[in-house]
């Protein structure tokens, strides 16, 4: 027992020596004097980033999942012991009431620019905020979406919580798997791909700064809307018809199922001449696969299979 106690003390002392740590969060530098002990995450993909790093015991809850998404069995088990504090975007009062010391969220992932919940409005409650890298485009310029956006968040969370080794192991493994999955992809003639998230009158889709653009490129395609200087945005169907995608990637979540979205496109006379519709080439990604998180590499595998199966 004495040896265990000494070992625990040494581990604690070693961890303490690693702090303070400073990470880049969008346009801010955020410094942590110790690892957060009462964290909250927003949305399913950000919550999975916390879970894959083994941080469930550092969390007091999560927000913004059940209001839009259905959890699969893996995710239900992951958050089984945690309360959902808000089904959709949390209020400042809800967050403060849980007495957290950390909020992992993003712009349009639990926070809105100029809204009630921001790093500035949470600061008086001593709630530190780390922002999802993909979402930084909503408050300032950033580079086009890449797989590094997700890797950066995992590595930064590793630094914040003192689990750098775990974070680095995960990223190294993902990079190796991605290289393996995409090794045989012919990039000489990228497939034209459209991302259909939602909307019938006008589609909501992924632009240059959304994670699907990076995953599509990794799989040997090109997002037909990669000149859209946004992450996710509503566009007109005219652009889709004109750019004639060879494959449509469906994002599956919400009240309208992937099957219903596919049926809408296949049954609409306006889309009859689109190559993807004529050839019945649709690939379905779950929301948690299409947004930055641990499932992105398997999502690229799914895209490779869907793009190059025939």
What number does CATH give the domain 186-308?
A: 3.40.50.1980
Give Rg (Cα) of the chain.
Answer: 21
Q: What confidence tens digit (pLDDT) does each residue in 159-208 have?
A: 999 999 999 999 999 999 999 999 989 889 999 999 999 999 999 999 99
Domain ranges of the chain: 12-176, 186-308
pLDDT tens-digit readout, 95-125: 999 999 999 999 999 999 999 999 999 999 9
What would the DSSP string read from start to end of 254-267? SSS-HHHHHHHHHH
Going by C-alpha positions, the residue among 133, 44, 50, 41 that lies closest to residue 90 is: 41
DSSP code of 143? P
The answer to whether the 12-176 and 186-308 domains have the same CATH topology is yes
Q: Is 264 exposed, middle or buried (0-12, 13-18, 19+ CB in 10 A)?
A: middle
Q: Which residues of the chain have pLDDT under 70?
A: 1-17, 310
Closest to 248 in 3D by CA, of 307, 204, 293, 200: 307
Q: Out of 3.40.50.1980, 3.40.50.970, 3.30.70.260, 3.40.190.10, which CATH number does the structure's domain 12-176 have?
A: 3.40.50.1980
């Amino acid at each position: 027992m004495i040896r265990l106690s000494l070992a625990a003390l040494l581990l604690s002392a070693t961890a303490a020596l690693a702090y303070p740590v400073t990470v880049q969060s969008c346009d801010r530098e955020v410094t942590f004097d110790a690892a957060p002990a009462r964290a909250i995450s927003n949305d399913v993909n950000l919550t999975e980033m916390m879970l894959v790093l083994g941080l469930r015991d550092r969390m007091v809850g999560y927000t913004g999942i059940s209001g839009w998404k259905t959890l699969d069995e893996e995710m239900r088990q992951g958050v089984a012991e945690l309360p959902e504090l808000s089904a959709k975007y949390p209020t400042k009062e809800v967050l403060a009431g849980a007495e957290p010391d950390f909020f992992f969220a993003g712009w349009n992932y639990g926070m809105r620019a100029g809204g009630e919940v921001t790093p500035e409005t949470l600061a008086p409650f001593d709630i530190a905020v780390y922002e999802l890298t993909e979402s930084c485009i909503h408050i300032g310029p950033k580079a086009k979406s890449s797989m590094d956006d997700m890797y950066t968040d995992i590595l930064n969370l590793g630094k914040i919580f003192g689990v750098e080794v775990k974070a680095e192991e995960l990223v190294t493994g993902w990079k190796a798997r991605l290289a393996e999955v995409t090794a045989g992809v012919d990039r000489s003639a990228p497939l034209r791909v459209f991302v259909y998230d939602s909307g019938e009158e006008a589609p909501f889709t992924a632009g240059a700064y959304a994670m699907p653009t990076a995953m599509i490129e990794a799989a040997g395609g090109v997002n037909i809307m990669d000149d859209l200087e946004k992450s996710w945005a509503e566009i007109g169907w005219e652009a889709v018809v004109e750019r004639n995608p060879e494959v449509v990637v469906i994002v599956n979540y919400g009240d309208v199922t992937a099957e219903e979205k596919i049926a809408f496109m296949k049954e609409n006379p306006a889309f009859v001449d689109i190559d993807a519709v004529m050839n019945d080439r649709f690939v379905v990604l779950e929301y948690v696969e299409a947004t930055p998180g641990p499932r992105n590499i398997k999502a690229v595998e799914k895209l490779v299979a869907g793009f190059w199966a025939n």
